[in-house]
Amino acid sequence: MIEQLGEKQDFESELSRLGFRHEDFILYIGVVSSKAPGQVHYDYSVTVANVETGQQRVYHGGPRHDWVKECSRDLASGVFGKAV
């Protein structure tokens, strides 16, 4: 799903830009369904895990969310550890 949207590539670009190794990270995608009046809207969750530090965080994805941008801020601020 995130590959079709280009978000995986955007995430990997941010890892490179910030000096992190791609192989240290795993992404888990989950589908979250929320029902708004008159329609069903599907979003998804993205769990980003750094296998070296054990740090992980869950982000919301979908048309109203920018998980790559949020994760990039966390990467830059050290939430997932220091870059190599």
Cβ within 8 Å of residue 77, ≥6 positions away: none
Q: What pLDDT score does 62 carry?
A: 85
Summarised one tens digit per residue, pLDDT across range 10-69 is 999 999 999 999 999 999 999 876 666 666 555 899 999 999 999 999 999 888 889 999
- Measured distance CA(23)–CA(16) in Å, rounded: 11
The pTM (predicted TM-score) of the whole model is: 0.85
